Amino acid sequence: MGVRRIRPIIVRRAPGRPAQARVQLSHGIRPAAIGRGSVRPLKREGDEGTPLGRFPVRLVLYRADRVSRPRVGVPVRAIRADDGWCENPHDRNYNRLVRLAAQSGADSLMRKDALYDYILVLGYNDRPCIKGRGSAIFVHLAREGYTPTAGCIAFSKSDMAAVLAETRRGSSFLVMR
């Protein structure tokens, strides 16, 4: 018996809407928000684009005080009060999960809104990490009306449940134009 390949979750830019996407899941097409800068083949820090390519799901983070632990086949961890993500290309921890410090170039993952109640950390610019090539490319919850992100892929809560149901070891997102 051969190894069963897992099909990627396909993300395609929505026609006429550069900051929205249509995402192919196993049970249909779902809407999503993408970066304000649309899909970018050459992603750079701060361009607000969603990178073009195939990116594995490395880790799922969740707010244990708000939502239940997702049952997925990839590593899962509750977000802690001092968790952040380093987006400073001059910091040695660039594009990594870090503990927040007073002078760090990191953004808190413990947000007041619900956008980061679930975070799928995608394997973008991490192996190896190239300074300035972009950081913090996540799949997270969308704002009302699917307004643009800073480069992430964002779903409604019900569609995020469908994404999590499909997430297992070897899962990836294939971002296309």
Q: How many CA atoms lie within 13 A of 45 on its CB side?
A: 15
% helix, strand, coil for the chain, step of 5: 5, 40, 55
Chunked mean pLDDT (size 10), the chain, 177 residues: 77 97 96 98 97 98 98 97 94 93 79 97 97 97 97 98 96 97
Report how far residue 81's alpha carbon sits from residue 30's, in angstroms, rounded to the nearest whole number: 31
CA 43 to chain centre: 15
Query: Taking the CB of residue 81, how many other CB atoms lie within 10 A of it?
Result: 10
pLDDT given at position 105 = 65
pLDDT given at position 2 = 56
Tokens of residue 146, six digits: 């699917």
Report how far residue 146's alpha carbon sits from residue 115's, in angstroms, rounded to the nearest whole number: 11
pTM: 0.95
| Residues in a beta bridge with 153 | 139
Report how far residue 68's alpha carbon sits from residue 70's, in angstroms, rounded to the nearest whole number: 6
| Residues in a beta bridge with 108 | 84
pLDDT given at position 107 = 87
pLDDT given at position 102 = 63
pLDDT given at position 101 = 78
Report how far residue 45's alpha carbon sits from residue 119's, in angstroms, rounded to the nearest whole number: 19
